[in-house]
Amino acid sequence: MAGVEVRAIARHIRISPQKVRLVLDTIKGKPVNEALAMLRFMPQKATGPVSKALKSASANAENNFNLDPDDLVVVRVSADEGRTLKRYRPRARGRVNQILKRSSHVTVVVSEKEA
C-alpha cells in the first residue's frame, strides 16, 4: 500500500511549541526505529511526548493498515500551538505580570519508504 500516510496526534502537551520543534526537526525524514533511538538519548523534555506519538503512529500503521513497522519513515512532523494557560505574578506597588504557560499539539505522520 504505497502512498498511505498514517498519523498520530498528541494534544495539550505542556511544553511550548518552539521547544518541541527543536526535537521534531531532528527526526524528520528518518526511519521510525532510528528516530526512536535518537529520541531516547536526547536531553530535551519534549522527547517523551514525541516518542509516544511516534510509537502510536507506528502502531496505527501496523494494526489499522497492515504496514510493516520496519519499513516506516517519518514523513511529516509538526508542533502547533495549543491552549495557553494565563497566570499572574504579583509585582511591586500592587501591579501584576502575566505568565503564559503554553501547550502544543504534536502531529506525527509516517509512511512506508519507497522501494
pLDDT in tens, the chain (115 residues): 567 999 999 999 999 999 999 999 999 999 999 999 999 999 999 999 999 999 999 999 999 999 999 999 999 999 999 999 999 999 999 999 999 999 999 999 999 987 6
> Residue 1's pLDDT is what?
57
* Rounded CA separation 34/109 (Å): 15
> Residue 97's pLDDT is what?
98
**Domain range for residue 69?**
5-112
> Residue 3's pLDDT is what?
79
Residue 15: which CATH number?
3.90.470.10
In three-state secondary structure terms, 97 is strand
> What is the number of domains present in the chain?
1
Q: Closest by alpha carbon to 40, among 32, 68, 70?
A: 32
> Residue 115's pLDDT is what?
60
> Residue 114's pLDDT is what?
75
